Amino acid sequence: MATMTPKADVLVQNFAPDHPIVGDRVIEGDGTSTDAWQNWQGLQDLSRLEIAKSFPPQQRVCVFAPHPDDEILGCGGLLQQLVANGNSIVLVHVTNGTQSHPDSQIYPPRLLDTIRPQESLAALEVLGIAHQVTCISLELTDGDVFAERAQFHQKLAAIIQPDDILVTPFIHDGHPDHETTGQVVAAFAKEHQLACYQVLIWAWHWAKPADSRIPWHCALRVDLTPEQLQRKTEAIACFKSQITVDESTGNPPILSAQTIARISQPWEVYLYEPQS
């Protein structure tokens, strides 16, 4: 895929920088370079997340994706390791990502409502874990999860079981749907004394190495094997709607080449603080 500079991405087209929760965590332009992250010693020094110790095989793991693809972008490596560890997984799509292509004739909302979950299933197949993952769609409104957070919280009670381990985007990840998802899930976890891991996704774009807006003191690194990274990279390629130019509008891919390169590293980072 040719390298392109996104039009501040559709994210910024849809959400003004003064959105009530994103503050100065704005996703625009090319973002922090992959080299900057690769060369930051602080990332190398992070403690490693011990899968077998932190995710006992008898415990179920619920992974929350604001949009179909976030589970792969953020957790494509962890998902593979959890299945190998024997954990059962519930993948919760908070929205179906229907608003990713405004004014598109190729990807109108009614088609994206089907396309994006199908892309997610194809990606899980590529990871080799589709049969070990149960998928649930909450069908909240793409781009407006913030306004539906009370409904979101109510839906969690019907999904989450005692002793589930929760994985959700960072509560300050930069995209309003990501931040709301993280905040609602983290609040539910605290209320019910459940372990909750927050994954960095869009934070890699707007943050800088050692950025004080990220609590690096509670960050844990998951290292991917070359084979796991290869499968994750191939899984990302399943999201055709997000990685190709929209010929009907001329808009660049939602996931730019820089974004894909930045997220396709042999590590993933999760924030975790034990429940008190």
DSSP string of 24-89? T----SS-S-HHHHHT-HHHHTSEEP-HHHHS-TTS-EEEEESSTTHHHHHHHHHHHHHHHHT--E
- Specify the CATH superfamily of domain 60-272: LmbE-like (3.40.50.10320)
Question: pLDDT at position 21, please?
Answer: 63
Give pLDDT, residue 1: 29
- How long a stretch of residues is the chain? 276
Which pLDDT score, from 0 to 100, does residue 75 have? 98
Three-class SS of residue 113? Answer: helix
- Domain edges within the chain: 60-272
Longest dimension (CA), the chain: 52
Burial class (CB in 10 A: 0-12, 13-18, 19+), 39: exposed
C-alpha span between 19 and 173 (Å, rounded): 13
Given CA atoms 168, 171, 173, 179 in this order, what sign does their dihedral have? positive
Taking only the tens place, the pLDDT of each residue in 200-251 is: 999 999 999 999 999 999 999 999 999 999 999 999 999 999 999 999 999 9
Q: How large is the average pLDDT for residues 156-170?
A: 97
- Residue 20: predicted pLDDT: 58
Mean pLDDT for the chain overall: 91
Distance CA 222, CA 14 (A): 32
Contact 157, 54 (CB under 8 A): no
C-alpha atoms less than 13 angstroms from C-alpha of 72 in its C-beta half-sphere: 32
Retrieve residue 153's tokens: 């919280």
Of the candidates 54, 68, 57, 62, the one whose C-alpha atom is nearest the C-alpha of residue 158 is: 62
Q: Give the tens place of pLDDT for each residue, 11-25.
A: 333 344 455 567 789
* Those residues with Cβ within 8 angstroms of residue 189's Cβ, 6 or more apart along the chain or in another chain: 166, 195, 196, 275
* Confidence at residue 275, expressed as pLDDT on a 0 to 100 scale: 76
pTM: 0.92
How confident is the model at residue 26, as a pLDDT?
83
Q: Which residues, in sequence order, are bridge partners of residue 219?
A: 271
Q: What local confidence, expressed as pLDDT, does residue 242 receive?
A: 96
